[in-house]
Structure 1
């Protein structure tokens, strides 16, 4: 997993016990990605592809993930805690960013 365990605790991944970033256990049950984006697949993909574009103050680097790599990682993350996860309605889920993000990621009208 591209060194994700260097910053995150990931259940079932040997030696992925770091505490720099948030632990990824029960990820599917979280309400938000990175504390600012509603936890929806489109938002997670945008975050994985370019975290600093969503939150310029993040410590998570842009790993240069391809769309396919981001989808694979997202699919894995949504298995973590999936039994207790809420199911959201299908359809287009808008990507939301915090204030200060670049063009294409405007801040939401109702705040982050």
Structure 2
């Protein structure tokens, strides 16, 4: 009986660590075993503890275009898609999400002081 109770408690703990909720304008960037695996959300998302790492990203978050098609948001680098001419090193912000890519635009609110 004690072994069954312990098993039920472990299953509940595993599920509590695995489930996350993303709002309408938020996605989770998923890295499975250290490699980019796509975007999860909005809504309830299931992750495998220890194997998966996830980082929340929202519309309006700022980042920097590091390479062509790769944006750096904090400590993560993810594929991005941009329609306008954005140069490498430009400050970008998240505009939306489409087909496992993050839609970005040039951040015109950011003004660098020289």
- Shared topology, TM-score over 0.5? no
TM-score (norm 2): 0.23
Rg bigger for which structure? 2
Q: Between Structure 1 and Structure 2, which shows a larger proportion of strand residues?
A: 2
TM-score of the superposed pair, with normalisation by structure 1: 0.23
Which structure has more relative contact order (CA 8 Å, sep 6+)? It is 1
Q: Where is the helix percentage greater, Structure 1 or Structure 2?
A: 1
